[in-house]
Amino acid sequence: MQPILTVISAVLPVFCLAGTGVILRQVRWLTAEADASLMRVVVNVLTPALIFHVVLGNAALRRPENLFLAPLLGYLGVAAGVGVAWLLRRRSGLTDERSQRTFAAQTGIQNYGYVPLPLVLTLFPGDSAGVLFVHNLGVDTAMWTVCLVALGHGSWHEWHRLLNPPIVAIVIAVGLNVANAEHWMPKFLLTTAEMLGACAFPLGIILIGATIADSAAELRQDFDWPTVAWASLVRLGILPALILGLAWILPVSRELKQVLMVQAAMPAAVFPIVLARHFGGHPLTAVRIVVGTSLLGFLTIPIWLKLGLWVIGSGS
């Protein structure tokens, strides 16, 4: 069985990168004014480059089961998460509807991009990272549908937001992969994509740390422990058990099981904070849940990953 130190060594760099973001913000080497431009670079350039790098030549993404089941399970995972959080929203201690809706939307979706990616790359080098990106097609779709419905602003008009550079890159890269593009594309393009892609998740996680640092002072004054406790129970307790159960019983590929295992262990996603700000939610509630589950995740992520390795039989 894979030793727990291997799991911890895969998790620690992620938290160190986030901690770097916190420190950079505190010493003002990374200003809030720089966040928007850096995030545009991450989302519009670095992440698409990383997608092309991990998808091209990926044998697992030439199998129909991974192309169709991965996004389906990504969507259903978020839908189930929001559903469970919705059922427990009134137990969270929140009294107004806006905060309760934010609790459901924020707790129901896991951090599905920049945090799980380095874990997948470290624990399962090979084709699983490409399957992760295809899985995230479903997660993105659920975020712009299920999460907005939970916030009370679900609308077909929001579907255009799915046409963003990472999603377009996934679709194009999958098509090129089926066409064996890694054999006929110029080598310098593949090398450029690899070099740009290597910058994506470190910079993305640093920006996440900086975002958390911005809310530190406010959270110290009003952390709302009951809300964070209930969100942590759902996000870091109930949902990981459900997702690992599915990974165990479903007849899906090993790569998809590995993706589900890592996704199960994740804390709450960061981007729903933006949704709460722009679609009538309660941003402070969202921030509390992200910070609380992320800090507690430092303890729970290694435990769930270790258990997940045993469940899917990857620890031998």
Q: What is the tens place of the pLDDT at every residue in 147-160?
A: 988 998 765 566 66
- pLDDT for 2 beyond 60: no
The percent of residues above 70 in pLDDT, for the chain, comes to: 94
Q: Hey, what CATH topology would domain 4-308 get?
A: Na+/H+ antiporter like fold (1.20.1530)
pLDDT score, position 315: 42
Residue the block writes with tokens 């963003």: 164
Q: When comparing pLDDT for 173 and 273, which is higher?
A: 173
pLDDT one-digit tens code per residue, 214-237: 877 667 667 788 999 999 999 999
Copy the structure tokens of residue 235.
Answer: 């996000």
pTM for this model (two decimals)? 0.86
Determine which of 37-51, 87-101, 159-173, 244-258 has the lowest per-residue pLDDT on average.
159-173
CA dihedral defined by 128, 129, 131, 136, rounded to 10 degrees? 140
Bridge partner residues of 110 (DSSP): 268
Task: Give the mean pLDDT of 197-226.
Answer: 82
pLDDT score, position 217: 65
Task: Give the mean pLDDT of 196-210.
Answer: 90
- Cα distances (Å, whole numbers) of residue 83 to 142, 238, 258: 12, 12, 24
How far is Cα 61 from Cα 174, in angstroms, rounded to an integer?
Answer: 7
Task: Give the mean pLDDT of 250-276.
Answer: 92
Q: Residue 130: name the closest of 185, 52, 199, 190 by CA.
A: 52
- Three-state DSSP at 310 gives helix
If one counts every other C-beta atom within 10 angstroms of the C-beta of residue 306, the result is 19
- pLDDT for 76 beyond 90: yes
How far is Cα 286 from Cα 233, in angstroms, rounded to an integer?
Answer: 15
Q: For 94-108, b where at least 16 C-beta lie within 10 A, e where not — what string?
A: beeeebbbbbbbbbb
Copy the structure tokens of residue 99.
Answer: 């905060």
- pLDDT for 260 beyond 70: yes
Q: When comparing pLDDT for 62 and 164, which is higher?
A: 62
- pLDDT for 284 beyond 90: no
Task: Give the mean pLDDT of 181-187.
Answer: 92
Q: Residue 100: name the closest of 281, 292, 290 by CA.
A: 281
Beta strands in the chain (DSSP E): none
- Average pLDDT of the chain is 89
What is the residue extent of each domain of the chain?
4-308
- Residues whose CB is less than 8 angstroms from the CB of residue 105 and which lie 6 or more positions away in sequence, other chains included: 82, 85, 147, 148, 150, 151, 272, 275, 276, 281, 286
Task: Give the mean pLDDT of 286-291.
Answer: 90
Determine which of 210-224, 240-254, 289-303 has the lowest per-residue pLDDT on average.
210-224
pLDDT score, position 99: 94
pLDDT one-digit tens code per residue, 27-68: 999 998 998 899 889 989 999 999 999 999 999 999 999 999
Q: Residue 314: name the closest of 135, 123, 77, 130 by CA.
A: 123
- pLDDT-derived band at 263, boundaries 50, 70, 90: very high
pLDDT score, position 160: 67
